[in-house]
Amino acid sequence: MKNLEFYELLLFIPVSDHIYSDAEKIKEQFKQDYGCNDTVISKPHISISNIVQPQYMEKKLIGIYNRLSSETFTPFEIIFSGFKYFKHVRGASSPTYTIYIQVINNSVFSEISKLIKSSVNAKSFGKKKFKPYYPEEPHLTIAKKISQQQFNECWPVWKEKKFTSSFIADGMQLLKRKIDNIPRKYEAVQCFSFTGDGNLNTQLEFF
């Protein structure tokens, strides 16, 4: 009998140690200066996808990620430069903001994201109320759920700040947490090393 429990699955690229350390310091500074408590909850990473799937789909998804990372994806450079923001408007409520470090070379990431999305969507059985999330552009979140007042205070300062760095992305990681009425932390599922040939245009048949 299939396990019909649903899990949130976060697929992401882990950043290098030096970028992780720099991002943590910036996140802590946001918390202290502007009271942005959500800055330090999540650890620095670059999201590829966030989806909800039944437990029995986990093995099939791991198969997809394994094959893509071992046959197609190859290590590539991610270059960071400066800060940007997203504005979120929902209904009649006040807007909130997400401030992030932007990635200025996103072509390879975009192709990886598109290939993962097209491969997973063909086998998707997620709950309708949970919309799959595939970022349109890679970014490193610093602070989210920032109120209008907090944004008005911090953005004039941070839009002028400089941040430049880079690292080689050589793999991705998958985390999961059960969807129920109990707040839960993510648990590690598997890491996937990029050892493919870099031919992102290859059309793969998984099943």
How do residues 5-39 score in pLDDT, each as one tens digit? Answer: 899 999 999 999 999 999 999 999 888 888 776 65
d(CA 82, CA 110): 19
Model pLDDT, residue 41: 66
d(CA 103, CA 94): 28
- Strand order through the sheet with 164-169: 139-146, 96-103, 76-88, 164-169
CA-to-CA dists, residue 115 to 52, 67, 76, 112, 180, angstroms: 18, 12, 16, 5, 30
What percentage of the chain reaches a pLDDT higher than 70? 87
Lowest mean pLDDT among 25-39, 43-57, 138-152: 25-39
Q: 6-193 falls under which CATH superfamily?
A: Cyclic phosphodiesterase (3.90.1140.10)
Indicate the helix (H) or strand (E) that contains 123. none
- Is the pTM above the cut of 0.85? yes
Indicate the helix (H) or strand (E) that contains 32. helix 17-34
**Sign of the torsion angle spanned by Cα atoms 52, 57, 58, 61:** negative
